[in-house]
């Protein structure tokens, strides 16, 4: 996964000082379908529904949809689980990311004017936790599925 650095932010701020680039940026924020979708519910068969949060990261010009939980239907009723408590290993997280990519592509990307300039991809993000009494974050060995839309702003 790509995390923006201070240098990336500085490049972005320098870039949007140009009026043409600023107009492109405003157009992306105003017209993109996934920017306006926020939370998405995606069914995976009759018993599971995944929930994702979608956001736009202007520094890396990409959209991310990260799974934040799921609902499972069990004999006792519906059970909601947060991603932090699901304990997905990397292989299963990648499989779920593929399911999310298909549904996001069908549901959201087909209505977006930037479809030809955006490449939809999948990935996983390791879930981290803070060590007791420290600000240090350590990996848990479990992963959250991520769908990434990489936007090519040069071709807009």
Domain boundaries, the chain: 6-152
pLDDT, one tens digit per residue, over 91-141 is 999 999 999 999 888 888 888 888 888 888 999 998 888 877 777 888 888
Torsion angles phi and psi, residue 8, rounded to 5: -65, -40
Alpha-helix residue ranges (DSSP H) falling in 47-149: 83-86, 90-107
Residues across the chain: 156
CB 23 within 8 A of CB 16: no
What local confidence, expressed as pLDDT, does residue 104 receive?
Answer: 87
pLDDT category at 4 given cuts 50, 70, 90 is low
Is the predicted pLDDT of residue 73 greater than 60, yes or no? yes
């Amino acid at each position: 996964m790509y995390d923006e650095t201070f240098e990336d932010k500085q490049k972005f701020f320098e870039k949007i000082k140009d009026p043409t680039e600023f107009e492109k940026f405003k157009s992306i924020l105003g017209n993109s379908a996934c920017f306006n979708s926020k939370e998405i519910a995606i069914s995976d068969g009759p018993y599971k529904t995944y929930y994702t949060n979608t956001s736009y990261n202007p520094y890396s010009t990409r959209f991310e949809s990260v799974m934040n939980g799921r609902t499972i239907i069990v004999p006792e009723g519906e059970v909601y689980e947060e991603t932090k408590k699901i304990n997905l290993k990397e292989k299963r997280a990648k499989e779920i990311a593929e399911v999310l990519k298909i549904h996001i592509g069908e549901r959201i990307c087909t209505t977006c004017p930037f479809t030809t300039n955006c490449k939809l991809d999948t990935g996983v993000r390791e879930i981290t936790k803070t060590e007791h009494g420290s600000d240090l974050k350590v990996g848990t060995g479990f992963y959250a599925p991520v769908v990434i839309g990489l936007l090519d702003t040069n071709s807009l």
